[in-house]
Structure formats: structure tokens, C-alpha cells
């Protein structure tokens, strides 16, 4: 079973943010499980739900940054946009081929989450408390 394992490295040190990040990881793992147990069925809806949840999480962080005139707003937002683009590509290719491998999803999101959580997010939440 392909899963994205939560690692203590992902923690930004703020319980409410870690909780939201863990929810995203849980949803990714649900999608992986669905991809592996029922590969022939479209996962369009689940991927759409993931996209909506990640977008909402990013929008909240970006609002917090704007409210505090956070100095790395631009870079942090650009990083968010990059992930949303990657996720859109995964969704498009899923539409075209009807297939997405759980490994591909975990690789794309896991690498990104692993780095983004412990760099930009950790800095943001350390900065703003």
C-alpha cells in the first residue's frame, strides 16, 4: 500500500496548523488507497476534493500573511501556486488517461509537502507565533 507517512519533520510547531496539514495527508492517503483498490474507477471527485482543501488551506495562510504584512508573502504564495499547478497537471492527466498511480501522487505531493512544511510554513508560523 502506497502511503504518505507523516513525519515529525513535517511539524511546524503550531498544533492547529499541524492538524490541518495532517488532514491533508490523510486525504491523500485515502486517495492512494482508492487508486490501488479500485484503479479503473475515476478519482476525479476525490482529486477535486483534495484540490479544494489544499486551496482553502493556502488561502487561509495567504490571508494571515497579508494581514501581518509578512515579508516572504510573495515567495510563499509562489510556492503554493506551484503545487496547485502540479496538482492540476495530475488531475488533467487523470482525465485523459483515467489513471493516476498512487506512487506518482505521493511522490509529487510528498516531496512538496515535506519541503514546504518545514521551510516556508515553519518560518511563517514561527514568525507570527
Q: Which is nearer to Fe ion, 104 or 118 (CB)?
A: 118
How many residues are present in the chain?
129
Binding string, residues 105-124; x marks residues near Fe ion by CB under 5 A: ----------------x---
- Report the run of H or E that residue 93 belongs to, with start and end: helix 73-97
Residue 18 lies near Fe ion (rule: CB under 5 A): no
Q: Which of 61, 94, 100, 105 binds Fe ion (CB under 5 A)?
A: 61
Is the four-CA dihedral 74, 77, 83, 88 of positive or negative sign?
negative
- Identify whether the C-beta of residue 84 lies closer than 8 Å to the C-beta of residue 50: no
Residues contributing to the site for Fe ion (CB under 5 A): 61, 121
Amino acid at each position: 500500500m502506497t502511503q504518505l507517512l507523516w513525519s515529525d519533520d513535517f511539524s511546524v510547531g503550531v498544533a492547529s496548523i499541524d492538524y490541518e496539514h495532517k488532514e491533508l495527508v490523510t486525504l491523500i492517503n485515502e486517495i492512494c488507497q482508492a487508486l490501488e483498490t479500485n484503479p479503473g474507477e475515476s478519482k476525479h471527485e476525490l482529486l477535486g476534493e483534495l484540490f479544494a482543501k489544499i486551496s482553502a488551506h493556502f488561502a487561509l495562510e495567504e490571508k494571515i500573511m497579508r494581514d501581518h504584512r509578512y515579508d516572504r508573502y510573495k515567495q510563499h504564495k509562489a510556492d503554493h501556486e506551484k503545487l496547485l499547478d502540479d496538482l492540476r497537471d495530475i488531475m488533467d492527466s487523470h482525465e485523459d488517461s483515467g489513471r493516476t498511480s498512487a506512487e506518482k501522487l505521493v511522490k509529487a505531493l510528498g516531496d512538496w509537502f515535506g519541503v514546504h512544511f518545514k521551510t516556508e510554513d515553519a518560518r511563517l508560523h514561527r514568525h507570527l507565533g
